[in-house]
Structure 1
Amino acid sequence: MKGLYCKLGEANELKFIIQETSIAATIGDHQVKVQVKGCSLSPVDIKLCEDLKLQRERVPVGREIAGIVLQVGPKVTFFHPDDEVVGILPLEAEMSGLCDVVLVDEYNLVQKPEKVSWFEAAGAIKDGLRAYTALHTLARVAVGQTLLVLDGASSVGVLTIQLAHYHGVKVLATAISPDDQKFLEQLRPSVGKKIKPRVIGVWDSKVDLVDSCLEETGGLGVDIVIDAGVRLYEEEPEVKKHLPHKHDIISLLAVGGHWVTTEDNLQLDPPDSRALFLKAASISFLNEEVWEASRSRQGRYLRILMKALGPLCS
């Protein structure tokens, strides 16, 4: 059978290749053989693999899978043949999720909800994990808080909005284009209170993000911010022009607020740190891959995978 792999080419460009691969003849004690019905093609983070010493000549593409269990190892307790499952292949996996059949540890899979299709399950599992990790594990979201979701029309943004509404959180979301704004304004959450998010069209140069957030919160600021990247300097490449400056995010945070960032090279100047100190605010770095780093959190990781698909069932 064939799988999709990538490798670094000249000038650090990713090259994708289709390669013949075979599955092991024997199945491990805690392994599950899955016939893949749906697979999601998320971006390949080569830098993360290098940081974790997982460099390989060819990296498998397609880690989020949904499928049917064909066979289970002798010590598998969670699954049985013909079960419908969904999960994320670990970073060190040797097989591509685009293969017809894959072998995966049982602790990387959960039962697929009946109401969710194969493609919905595979497409939403990682974004759901990211959203749930940001809201619950890092931000400790609570009823009555105000949340700002940057780039709310993105796949992660939409799931974050749905999960936040489920927990009674007031949601503000930014739109980076007129089409995104129209989409968000028509978005009616399927869970929790049927309240539309307040959309801030940052694509319009006349709209000020900080002023809009303070106006919506009566000058108190936002309790939680989940970004989609930030500008570290005033002069940034054109592709980052729609991103807010780090100082803007700090300025709109409420007292005791929490900023969840996806910016892995965030740098704070002393005035920024002073402003965070005065507000007793905090910052967390969002990296959903960290769940694989500790076996002691495996149970919590699996519970999150199951809950992450909850909005799709409503």
Structure 2
Amino acid sequence: MTNVHQVSVAEATGESPAVLRGPARHRTVGASTLQVFPFALSGNVFGWTADDAQTDAILDAYRGFGGNFVDTADSYSSGRSETMIGNWMRRRRNRADMIVATKVGKSADNPGLRARVLTRAVEASLTRLGTDCIDLLYLHIDDTTVEFEETLLAVDELIRKGKVRYFGGSDHTGNRLIEARVASAQLGVAPMVALQNHYNLVHRDEYEGDLAHVAYQQGLGVMPRFALASGFLTGKYRSRADVAQSDRRGEVARLLGRRGLRVLAALDSVAEEQSAKPGAIALAWLLTKQNVVAPVVSVRDAEQLADLEPAPLIRLTRHQVAVLDRASA
């Protein structure tokens, strides 16, 4: 099980809401030894909207306040994201201090999860990242054309060779996670320890049903992706004119309705009470949820990280969590 709490510190102690001082406590990813900062930095914009200099600045800022958990994929910018992260770690000589997660299964060069393809994809990722081991490997897709046994045996071989430490799912239903756990037990191979899924204040149903139940049963560490809903939950998009400035305007435009504005109003209210920014409150809300270890956050520049940095230290009260729950129901 993850060493996380479903209730806030403020609720447990009866103290008034506040931002704690000092460094954020790291959290354990499922049944692993990985100790990670309570939000992961996504590399999905590296090589896309962030060039080399911007990428270095973002990574430096994240590392500067104690961040150690970088999340990428072999399909992000056709592998360039992995290369840029690898180059940064080499220049900073900090690979030993970082937890690196990447995903395979969606790249044009190595699509799918057949054993030989998966192995080839991991070898390519290791080369681009400039490392001899991936800390957390995600299966980026649920490849139903391949028997779980083939994929699980291939991952286990990589783990036994020391090329991967732990692995998890990224696009699996609750039933498929159960199938994978049963197959792992029958084969005597390493089970998944983590789940990355779409989960945030305006996208709750997909996770909060079967997936949440299975994650709890299996003790999976949950890393919500799109934790800020493409920036919507930071409060930067409140009108059609604002949305027009977004690189993801199609996704954000769909959120700019009655429910979305209600969620923003709730975030504004709690943010004022906490003397924090709406985006930090959105992350703090996720961190109150059972099994959630580290929401995955994407930023376009280093300055945006400053607003999010306090998130792991914010103690939401029971009332504040309820306000956000009701607004986003």
* Shared fold (TM-score, shorter chain, > 0.5): no
- TM-score for the superposition, normalised by structure 2: 0.31
Greater fraction strand = 1
- TM-score for the superposition, normalised by structure 1: 0.32
| Structure index of larger Rg | 1
Greater fraction helix = 2
User: Using CA pairs below 8 Å that are at least 6 residues apart, which structure has the higher relative contact order?
Assistant: 2
